[in-house]
Amino acid sequence: MKKYVLLFIVSISIFFKGFAEEGMWLPQLLQSLNEKEMKRMGMKINASDIYNISKGSLKDAIVSFGGFCTAEVISDKGLLLTNHHCGFDAIQTHSSVQNNYIRDGFWAYNTGQELKNPGLFATFIIRIDDVTKAVLGGVSSSLPEKERQSLIDKNIAALKTMTKKESYQDILIRSFFEANKYYLFITETYNDVRMVGAPPSSIGNFGKDTDNWMWPRHTGDFSMFRIYADKNNKPAAYSPDNVPYKPKRSLNISLDGVKEGDFTMVFGFPGRTNEYLHSSAIEQTVNVSDPAKIGIRTKALNVIDGFMRKDEEIGIQYAKKYASISNAWKKWQGEILGLTKSNAVTKRKELEANFEKIVMSKPELNVAYMGLLKDLEKVYKDIEPYAYARDYYSEIFPKIELLMFANQLKGVVNAFEKNGEAGYNLAKEKVVERLEDQYKDYSAAVDEKLFSVLMEMYVKDQKDEYSSAYFKNLLKDNGGDYAKTASSVYKQSKIYCMKDLQALLSGNAKDVCDAIKKDIGYQIAMDMQETFTNNVSESLNGYQATINQLQRLYMQAQMDVFTKKAFYPDANSTLRVTYGNAKTFQPRDGVKYDLHTYMEGVMEKYKPGDYEFDLPQKLIDLYNKKDFGRWGVKGKQPVCFIAANHTTGGNSGSPALDAYGNLVGLNFDRAWEGTMSDINYDPSICRNIMVDIRYVMFIVEKYAGAKNLIAEMKFVSKAGVKK
C-alpha cells in the first residue's frame, strides 16, 4: 500500500452550507452548523433549547435505553416512553403461559405494581466535548498504524483520568468521521428501570413481520418504563427504597399532530451507518454480503416459524429470536432494492470520478490523495472471500444455540486453565446462572433442526478450508446425512439442558473441564471457532485494518475535496439530532404514500385469530363507538405517520418532536423502499415511521384505563399552552 501523507488543508471542513434532511447531527454543534437551516425549515425554538449544558434542555429528556434503543422522559416522575419492541425483552421476561403479558399487555396502575428489570439501564448525556487535539496529540501521518493506535489509547487513558466528573458519572470517548475526530461524553446511568406498561402485542406489534419495515403501518409500537433513583435523585442499584427519578427536563406532549411540510426532528441514539463508502463496498453489499446473509436467515426463519405456529410455548420462547432474525433479514432485502433502484453504485462512481478530477486539478490534493481510490477498490476485492466466510460464520454460529452454550462453557474451561480452582468456581457459577436463564427460552427440537439445516449451508456454500473438519468427519460417519448427524449430536451432547449440565459439572474442576472438552457439541463449536480463527480471521483482520486506515484517509479526503458539501459523522450509537419535514412520497411509479394512517386501516387489516393481524375485542369496541376521547381528530383516530428524518437502528423509541420541541410521535421504523439510507440516503424514498403520540395516549387512556399515567404527563398546544 502506498504511504499517504495526510494533509490538513482545511481542518475537518464541517463549516459548509448545509442541505436539508440527510444527516445525523451532533447536538452540541447544532448552534454553529444547523440552527439557521433548521429555522428555515420551520423550527421555532433555538439550538440552545435542544442542547445546553448550563440549564435543562431537550437532551436531558433523552436516554439511551439499555444501550440498544432510545427512550424519552415524559413526566417529572421519570416516566419513560420507548417502543414495544425495545421493551420486549422485559415484557417477555415477565411473561409466562399464566401471565402472558406478550399476549395481554401489562399495566401498572400505581408505582407499587411496576416491575424491576435487572440489567436494564437508562443513560443520560450530561455534556459533550471535542477532545480531538488531546486524543491525536503526537500522532503524525507517518506513524505506523499500530503505534498510532497505541498512542491514541494512551492519550485517551490520560484524558480519562484528567477529566473532572462526579463519582456517579462516567466518561466515554468515541471516534467520529472514521477516527478523524474524537468527542468525550460525560454520562449518568440509572440501573433501576421498572416496567410500567405495554399494550398487547396485537397492538404493540400489530402486523408483526408482514408489516415490519412497511408503510402504510398501523402498529402502536410503544411501552413505558420508569427510572428510579436514590433519595438524592442519583443513580443507584435497584432497591425497594428507591424513588421515581426527577428529571432536569421532560417532554411536553402535543395534541396537534403534524401536517405535510411541518418541521420534525428525531433525537436519539442511531447505531451504525456507512455513508462514506467506496463504490466497491456498496457493490459488495448488494451482490455478495446481503444475499449471503438473507439466504441463511431465510432457512433459519422457515425452521423456527414451523415450530412456533404449532406450539404456543415455543411461540412465546422464540418470539423475540424470530423477530430479531427476521428484522435485519427484511431490511437487507429493502436495502438491495433501494440501492439498486437509486443507482447507488453508479452515483457513487460518479462522485469518485468527480473526486479524482478535483484531486488531479490541485497539486496539494494530488500529493495527498492520488491513488487512494484505487487502493480502496483493491482492498475491497481482496477482503471479499474472507468477508463472505465471516458472514457465513457469524450468521450461522449464533443461530445454533448449542454452539453458543458451548462457547459460554469455554469461559469455564479457560478460567480453570488460567486461574485454577478459584477462577473455575467463579466462572462456573456465572455461566450456570446465565445458561439456566437461556434454557427457559430454548427448545432442543428447534435447535436440532436449525443445526441440521444451517450446518448444511455452512459446509456446502463455502470453500472447504473454511468449514470445520471435525464436523465434516462426523457427517461422513453418518453417511453425509445432515439430519442424522444432527440427531446423533443432540443425543450425545450434555450441554443444552439443566439436568444433563448439572451432572456434567459435578466433580472436581479438572475432571469437569475434561468432560466438557469431550462433549460433542463443545467439540464442534471449538473446531468451528478454530477453523475460522486459523483460516479466515488473520487475513480478514489484516485487510480490515487496511480498510479502516484507508477509509479514515478517504473521509478526510472527501472533506478536503468537497469543501462545500455537508458532512456529518456516521452513526456510532451516540446522541444525534436529525431533522426534516413530515412528507408524503412516491415509492413507485403510480403509487403515493399518505402522511398518516388511521384506525380505519387497523380495522381493514384485522384478521380474527390471525397470528399477526388479530385485534383485542376492546379495541374493536372502542373503534365501533368512535370513543377516541381528546385523541381523535374529526371522528378519526390517527395511528402512525411518516417524515423525511434520517434515522437508523437504535433510533427506535426516539421522540419525534415538532417545531416547538413538543412530542408528536415515537420513532420506530423506516419505510422498506428506503432502508438503504444506512449507506446512501436518498430524500425521495427514505422515510422514517412514527407512532402518532395521540394513538399512544388513546391506548393508555381508553384501552388500558391507565389514568394514573395520563395524569402525570403535560399536554400542550403549538404555542406551548397547557391543555
Which residues are tagged catalytic? 85, 221, 652
**Of the two residues 169 and 675, which places its CB atom closer to ligand GLU in the complex?**
675
Nearest-approach distance from CB 678 to ligand GLU, in angstroms: 8
Backbone angles phi, psi at 670, to 5 degrees: -130, 160
**Burial of 233: CB neighbours in 10 Å, binned 0-12, 13-18, 19+:** middle
The site string for ligand GLU over 57-76 (x = CB under 6 A, - otherwise) reads ------------x-------
Type of residue found at 708: N
Which of ligand GLU, ligand ARG, none does 647 bind, CB closer than 5 to 8 A by kind?
ligand GLU
Distance, in Å, from the CA atom of 182 to the CA atom of 194, rounded to the nearest integer, reads 34
Binding to ligand GLU (CB under 6 A): which residues in 620-649?
Answer: 647-649
Backbone angles phi, psi at 392, to 5 degrees: -65, -45
Q: Which of 256, 257, 218, 212 is nearest to 599 (CA)?
A: 218
SS3 at position 675: helix
Q: Confirm or reject binding of residue 85 to ligand ARG (CB under 6 A).
A: yes
Considering only the stretches 131-139, 201-209, 276-284, 374-382, report the one whose residues sit in contact with ligand ARG under the rule CB under 6 A.
201-209
Residues 199, 220: contact at Cβ < 8 Å? Answer: yes
Which of ligand ARG, ligand GLU, none does 650 bind, CB closer than 5 to 8 A by kind?
ligand GLU
Q: Which of 35, 669, 673, 682 is the binder for ligand GLU (CB under 6 A)?
A: 669
Q: Which of 273, 652, 677, 680 is the binder for ligand ARG (CB under 6 A)?
A: 652
Which of ligand GLU, ligand ARG, none does 208 bind, CB closer than 5 to 8 A by kind?
ligand ARG
Distance, in Å, from the CA atom of 398 to the CA atom of 239, rounded to the nearest integer, reads 35
**Burial of 633: CB neighbours in 10 Å, binned 0-12, 13-18, 19+:** middle
Q: Is the peptide bond before 270 cis (omega within 30 degrees of 0)?
A: no
Read off the DSSP letter of residue 7: P
Nearest-approach distance from CB 303 to ligand ARG, in angstroms: 17
Nearest-approach distance from CB 185 to ligand ARG, in angstroms: 24
Long-range pairs, 303-310, Cβ under 8 A, ≥24: 303/446, 303/449, 303/450, 303/453, 304/446, 304/450, 307/443, 307/445, 307/446, 307/449, 309/611
Number of neighbours of residue 458 by Cβ within 10 angstroms:
24
Number of neighbours of residue 332 by Cβ within 10 angstroms:
21
Which of ligand GLU, ligand ARG, none does 209 bind, CB closer than 5 to 8 A by kind?
ligand ARG
Nearest-approach distance from CB 577 to ligand GLU, in angstroms: 15
Q: Confirm or reject binding of residue 652 to ligand GLU (CB under 6 A).
A: yes
**Of the two residues 399 and 428, which places its CB atom closer to ligand ARG in the complex?**
399
CA atoms lying within 13 Å on the CB side of residue 430: 13
H/E segment holding residue 691: strand 688-692
Tell whether the torsion through CA atoms of 609, 613, 619 and 622 is positive or negative: negative
**Of the two residues 428 and 670, which places its CB atom closer to ligand GLU in the complex?**
670
Tell whether the torsion through CA atoms of 614, 618, 624 and 628 is positive or negative: negative
Considering only the stretches 51-59, 136-144, 319-327, 478-486, report the one whose residues sit in contact with ligand ARG under the rule CB under 6 A.
319-327
Number of neighbours of residue 333 by Cβ within 10 angstroms:
18
Which of ligand GLU, ligand ARG, none does 651 bind, CB closer than 5 to 8 A by kind?
ligand GLU
Nearest-approach distance from CB 69 to ligand ARG, in angstroms: 8
Q: Confirm or reject binding of residue 205 to ligand ARG (CB under 6 A).
A: yes
Q: Confirm or reject binding of residue 264 to ligand GLU (CB under 6 A).
A: no
**Of the two residues 57 and 578, which places its CB atom closer to ligand GLU in the complex?**
578
Which of ligand GLU, ligand ARG, none does 205 bind, CB closer than 5 to 8 A by kind?
ligand ARG
The site string for ligand ARG over 657-696 (x = CB under 6 A, - otherwise) reads -----------xx---------------------------
| 414 Cβ contact list (under 8 Å, min separation 6) | 427
Considering only the stretches 113-121, 254-262, 355-363, 663-671, report the one whose residues sit in contact with ligand GLU under the rule CB under 6 A.
663-671
Nearest-approach distance from CB 641 to ligand GLU, in angstroms: 15
Distance, in Å, from the CA atom of 531 to the CA atom of 535, rounded to the nearest integer, reads 6
Residue nearest to ligand GLU (CB): 652
Q: Confirm or reject binding of residue 209 to ligand ARG (CB under 6 A).
A: yes
| 257 Cβ contact list (under 8 Å, min separation 6) | 596, 633, 638, 641, 664, 692, 694
Considering only the stretches 205-213, 352-360, 405-413, 457-465, report the one whose residues sit in contact with ligand ARG under the rule CB under 6 A.
205-213
Which of ligand GLU, ligand ARG, none does 182 bind, CB closer than 5 to 8 A by kind?
none
Task: List residues near ligand GLU by CB under 6 A.
Answer: 69, 647-652, 668-670
Chain residues that interact with ligand ARG, rule: CB under 6 A: 85, 205, 208-209, 212-213, 323, 326-327, 649, 652, 668-669
